[in-house]
Amino acid sequence: METKLIQSFIAGIVATAVMSFIMYAAPLMGVPKMSSPEMLAEMVSMSIAAGWLMHFTIGIVFAAFYVFLFSPIITIKGKLSKGAAFGFLVFVFAQIAMALISTVIRAIPESKETLLAIVLGSIMGHVVFGIFVALAVKD
């Protein structure tokens, strides 16, 4: 039997990998190109490898929040619905975090794409992330 910590790690890796795949496939569906690892690396003036490490670490941390906090107290029925709700909350948290970071380090990369397309793409990616976290965790 896997511990909750191991489930968090596996769920975070799996869900972040799926989200990353969708992020790179999104332009084929008409969604603007988005790369969280590149954005993270640019924000802190580090290599793209560091951006990828940060991206997966953040995914693991969010999966741990799901395992230890969200799943035990939220009574939404069905893994897909519960995961989608969690993913949307992760999206909201990410937007708040980006706003706070931008006030501190003033390093949010600018985009030439429309804000609506970026927001919708980000919501889609985070909801998929949440669903795959929920699917990877044994309740």
The pLDDT tens digits for 50-107 are: 999 999 999 999 999 999 999 999 999 999 999 999 999 999 998 888 778 777 765 5
Structural domain total, the chain: 1
Burial label for 1, CB within 10 Å (0-12, 13-18, 19+), is exposed
What's the domain range around 29? 4-136
Q: Could you tell me the pLDDT band of residue 13, with boundaries at 50, 70 and 90?
A: very high
User: 127-137 pLDDT, tens per residue?
Assistant: 999 999 999 99
Alpha helices per DSSP H over the chain: 4-25, 36-43, 48-65, 71-73, 79-105, 115-136
| 3-state secondary structure (DSSP) of residue 50 | helix
Nearest one of 65, 49, 68 to 15, comparing CA atoms: 65
DSSP letter, residue 106:
-
Total Cβ atoms within 10 A of residue 119: 12
Q: Over 80: is that where the pLDDT of 1 sits?
A: no
Tokens standing for 67? 């395992």
